[in-house]
Structure 1
């Protein structure tokens, strides 16, 4: 396995994260409920993780701010442009697979 410096590892992880976020922005046809049902996380989860990382570093960030970073626009704007109503099947799958906290 290639040995990476801590700086390289962080840079590569950051690049992969940015690519994931850009991919999700381009794939607005993929609904959050679909991501949750298939992968157990969604754009909102990413925004929560981002906010938690900021707060761990001592930087206060609102839910709205972290969502805008992930969605590339205010969350309500994204919802009005791209979010569709979940089908009964999607809702059932979500309840069956929902993470238990």
Structure 2
């Protein structure tokens, strides 16, 4: 299994709007994507710091989603302090 991790910083007071976009626009896209195996959106409402981790069955599935990153990030225009940082990692242990 592979994980895509996105670190971002939401502008003050915009966390609920960003979560609504995630729930209403991103989740349906992810659920239709091949190999999608769940997600966590983790954050601090006070600082705006956030981490999103999505899980993928194969590295190829994660790479395919990476190619649409630019399309998906457009939904968050005007909500982030800067460009998000994307990493891809192999899940080495799950308990």
Higher helix proportion: 1
Structure with max Cα Rg: 1
Quick check: which one's strand share is greater?
A: 2
